[in-house]
Amino acid sequence: MIAPLLSAEGLEKRFSIHRGVFDVAFGSSEQYLPALRGVGFRILPGETLGLVGESGSGKTTAGRVVARLLEPDAGRVEFDGTDWLALRGAELRRRRRDVQIVFQDPQSSLNPRMRVGDQVGEPLRVQGLARGQALRARVAELLGEVGLPPALASRFPSELSGGQRQRVAIARALATRPRLVVCDEPGSALDVSIAAQIVNLLLDLRERSGLSYLFISHDAAVVARVADRIAVFYLGRVVEEGPSREITSRPLHPYTAALVSAAPHPEPFAARDRIALSAGPPDARNPPSGCPFHPRCPIARERCGQERPELREVSSGRTVACFYPGELP
């Protein structure tokens, strides 16, 4: 058995909902929006785990907890045998070089007042890894690794295209030679063709550097191309997990089947059996009783509205939270 690079167990996270002046004046109780409800997963060295789900499912929150941009309310995360959530101060600052993140929108994640070279080199300066000529040489090397000419180091982000900006963001994430990179929908803010180039770049970097990825997306087709395993999120919980090929070719949870059927197809006029769900997502503050997916599920039965199915192993490497797995084609 290979020890996981990262393992998460029982992650809980809720956000306070902003109250207006009227609510405060009349003493309305504070409300919370649960984003993670007992989430767990693991990532092996050199492996890519894909998190897929619709907006509001909690996948981005999980990624930011792993990157220590958010602190969970409960749960445990271990990174390379270390209690990741217990790190503080100088030790946390030093270990941050091992886990980096690429955000969804490079236009907002890059500082518009800093030149590209300064932004790519900033992690090296902060971590004390390079100075002077060595820093400039490393910045040029990083730009080359992501397919950009070194001359772009003197430009500002506003002078670059969206795809170039995302490549700069990836170069910055690679500066400290991390072991795990969290990719939070890295291509969703780009044109389809440019997004495909970014995905291919990430795959190439993984092969060259042995990186591990936590790849987050709402597009099941993109995740299937990148990830070795997929965890499907719904209302803050993992409802299915397994190898990506098995998840996309034979989904067991009805929600997973709906996501797979909605993925873009390379042949636009090909016959497709898209699964239409009966309703929109429920209010996360007041989820349905029983299985949270049952009001939208095409195969829901009486038991589904009364009991919540737990995540259980149904075959080697496959887990699913459903009483009737695999019944929906």
DSSP letters, 214-278, are EEEES-HHHHHHH-SEEEEEETTEEEEEEEHHHHHHS--SHHHHHHHHHS--SSTTS---PPPPS
pLDDT at site 250 = 93
- For strands 180-184 and 99-102, give the pairing: parallel
pLDDT over 80 (residue 23): no
Range with the poorest average pLDDT among 5-14, 186-195, 208-217: 186-195
Burial 179-188 (b: 16+ CB within 10 A, else e): bbbbbbbbbe
Looking up tokens 């495909």 gives: 196
pLDDT digits (tens, 9 = 90+) for 250-301: 999 999 999 998 877 666 655 567 787 877 788 888 889 999 999 999 899 9
Residue 24 binned pLDDT confidence (cut-offs 50, 70, 90): low
- Spatial distance between the Cα atoms of 234 and 59, rounded to a whole number of angstroms: 9
pLDDT digits (tens, 9 = 90+) for 82-103: 999 999 999 999 999 999 999 9
- Spatial distance between the Cα atoms of 194 and 211, rounded to a whole number of angstroms: 22
pTM for this prediction: 0.91
Instruction: Tell me which amino acid residue 193 is.
Output: S
Instruction: Tell me which amino acid residue 165 is.
Output: R
pLDDT at site 82 = 95
In the predicted model, what is the mean pLDDT of the chain?
A: 91
CB-CB contact of 75 with 9 (8 Å): yes
Of 218-227, 232-241, 319-328, highest mean pLDDT: 232-241
Residue 187 binned pLDDT confidence (cut-offs 50, 70, 90): confident
| Over residues 132-159, mean pLDDT | 95
What is the number of residues in the chain? 329
Q: What percentage of residues in the chain have a pLDDT greater than 70? A: 93
pLDDT over 60 (residue 106): yes
pLDDT over 70 (residue 146): yes
**Angle subtended by helix axes 192-209 and 162-174, to nearest 10:** 20
pLDDT over 90 (residue 32): no
- Spatial distance between the Cα atoms of 145 and 120, rounded to a whole number of angstroms: 12
pLDDT digits (tens, 9 = 90+) for 109-125: 999 999 999 999 999 99
Looking up tokens 């306070």 gives: 16
pLDDT at site 34 = 93
- Spatial distance between the Cα atoms of 109 and 116, rounded to a whole number of angstroms: 12
287 vs 239: which has the higher pLDDT: 239
3-state secondary structure of 63: helix
3-state secondary structure of 314: strand
Strands (E) located in 18-159: 31-43, 48-52, 74-79, 82-83, 99-102
| Over residues 45-64, mean pLDDT | 95
Closest by CA position to 203, among listed 233, 176, 224:
224
pLDDT at site 262 = 82
| Over residues 183-188, mean pLDDT | 90
pLDDT at site 71 = 96
pLDDT over 60 (residue 22): no
pLDDT at site 263 = 75
194 vs 265: which has the higher pLDDT: 194
From first CA to last CA, the distance across the chain in angstroms is: 34
Angle at 221 between CA 57 and CA 315, to 5 degrees: 75
Closest by CA position to 219, among listed 36, 51, 47:
51
pLDDT over 70 (residue 29): no
Looking up tokens 């029982």 gives: 10
